[in-house]
Structure 1
Amino acid sequence: MKTAIIVFTLLTFGCKGPVSGVHSTPKEDGPSFKFEPIHIKTWPASGPEYPAKAKAGHITGTVTVYIHVSETGQILKIYSDQGPEILRQAAEDYAKRFTFIPAKLNGRPTTARFTLHVVFDSNP
């Protein structure tokens, strides 16, 4: 039986200044800010589809999927650039089934990138 394990890495976001956890400490050369990360609003009801060719070929691995989330929590862009190519589309399709609560910067919603690691494993 093929299984998929999902691992989340919180996120990378596009703003200037130092970042440590959810608060930044003021530095002489940069601003301070409070960052609240993206939260998952709803999870997919089931895991990703394991592609038939990957199953037949016993192909396993981790696909890294980047999900750009808007200020309203909508998915703007999804792409993967790491992991077995045969598994990437299944991981991206799975990522499209999540919904999000947007990140906030200084109390205001902001766009951010959420990183999802989808592990395809052939062990039962």
Structure 2
Amino acid sequence: MKKKIKYLILSVSVLCILIPVYFYFHYQKLPIYQIEYNAGEDTTYALHYAYFKDHTYQSVNPFIYEDEYPLGKQIGRTEHGIETVFEVKGHKDLIAVKGFMIPPIYFKEMKDLD
């Protein structure tokens, strides 16, 4: 009986160590997005830009409802590691950047006019 309890405690403690390690390495492998805050001002709100490889994203109106644009899976992180980048469900050209206790900022992919 005591052996079973020892093995149970050992296996639970190993799981408690392995699960955070897995999430840490998963987070470290995510691509890095560069965020440029307050890059310009529109008439109603400040503009922010996000860059990743050959994609450029511009912030959209900050007064949109989170319920209409639910966050999808995590697709990246910022260079500071404070915020994470999510895809937006149902919208291929939208991403959202969200930090701890910070509401998401939505970005729309800009199309080149060449």
TM-score interval for Structure 1 and Structure 2 normalised by the shorter chain = under 0.3
- 1 or 2, which has the higher helix percentage? 2
Could you tell me the TM-score, scaled by structure 1's length? 0.26
Could you tell me the TM-score, scaled by structure 2's length? 0.27
Asked which structure has the greater CA Rg, the reply is 2
